[in-house]
Amino acid sequence: MNFLSNSEQFKTLDLGRLGYGDALKIQEEQFKAIFDAKRQGVHHELSTLIFVEHNPVYTLGKSGDESNIKQNPETVGAEFYKTSRGGDITYHGPGQIVGYPIFDLEQFNIGVREYIWNIEQAIINVIDQFGLKGDRISDASGVWLDSDTDAARKICAIGVKASRYVTMHGFAFNINTDLGYFDHIIPCGIEDKGVTSLEKELSAKQDIEAVKNLVRTAFNKVFRISK
């Protein structure tokens, strides 16, 4: 584990390339530390934004529909996990920035709805720097391109869990992602919209570490700890 920086807002922890199960254990440890501190009434500065790049894996949200999995994950060389987050089926893999904010939302003086809005806004601000206009869709979380057209496509998926205003799980931002893996599922259970990546939109492979730095900066601007 590598703590990239300490900011006044939150810590940033980069796990590098790591399997989903191992990253989940780290998430749960970070989550439990904050949850226990709050339950005991102990002041803490434990909110952490975790970055990770997973090996190929499909994850299903707690209310997800397994019928949205069109092909056995093992046959395409991917793992499969049922999770406690919201949302349906999605894919994580190399070339994708997965972010797990383990945040105490009471420190930021926001609720879950604003929290999700803030994540979307941070990603919208990042892709704007590449000349792309990100949008929201009212009935589907995440960041979309051309959201009001037949060419609507998602570049960042979001699925979270919150207990006592402590969050885990998070977002998956497609940078140089192999989008072929999405062909084996109905992403997020939405059949009439596509999936895209920064590489596909810009017709060039991107420096994922540079984009990660932009995401970290965008999060620091959007999330401000309430003093």
Q: pLDDT for 127-179, tens place per residue?
A: 999 999 999 998 888 999 999 899 999 999 999 999 999 999 999 999 999 99
The reply to whether 28 falls in a domain is yes
**pLDDT grade, residue 123 (50/70/90)?**
very high
* Number of other CB atoms surrounding residue 204 within 10 Å: 9
Kindly state the tokens that stand for 13: 């922890």
pLDDT, one tens digit per residue, over 191-200 is: 788 999 999 9
Question: What whole-number distance in Å separates Cα of residue 35 and Cα of residue 46?
Answer: 10
Which pLDDT score, from 0 to 100, does residue 3 have? 41
> Cβ contacts of residue 171 below 8 Å, gap of 6+?
98, 99, 119, 123, 142, 156, 157, 158, 159
| Strands (DSSP E) found in 25-94 | 48-53, 57-60, 79-82, 89-92
Mean pLDDT of 24-38: 96
Within a domain: 92: yes
187 within domain boundaries: yes
Q: Tell which residue, 130, 124, 105, 97, has the closest CA to residue 223.
A: 105
pLDDT value at residue 6: 47
User: Is 105 inside a domain boundary?
Assistant: yes
Q: Is pTM, for the whole model, over 0.85? A: yes
Pairing of strands 89-92, 153-163: unpaired
Instruction: With a cut of 60, say whether residue 5 has pLDDT above it.
Output: no
**What is the count of structural domains for the chain?**
1
What stretch of H or E contains 159? strand 153-163
| Structure confidence at residue 9 as a pLDDT band (50, 70, 90) | confident
Q: Indicate which residue of 188, 195, 198, 211 is catalytic.
A: 188
The reply to whether 87 falls in a domain is yes
Nearest to 214 by CA among 96, 130, 135, 156: 130
CATH number of the domain that 120 lies in?
Answer: 3.30.930.10
Please compute, for residue 213, the number of CA atoms within 13 A of its CA located in the half-sphere on the CB side: 4
Does the pLDDT of residue 7 top 60, yes or no?
A: no
Query: 80-106, pLDDT tens digit by residue?
Result: 999 999 889 999 999 999 999 999 999
- 227 within some domain: no
What pLDDT score does 226 carry?
Answer: 60
User: How far does Cα 66 stand from its chain's mean position?
Assistant: 21
Q: Where residue 8 falls among pLDDT bands split at 50, 70, 90? A: low
E-assigned strand segments in 21-68: 48-53, 57-60
The reply to whether 188 belongs to the active site is yes
The pLDDT of residue 4: 43
The boundaries of the domain holding residue 55 are 2-222
Q: Which two tokens stand for residue 39?
A: 């339950």
Least confident stretch, 4-18, 23-37, 93-107, 208-222: 4-18
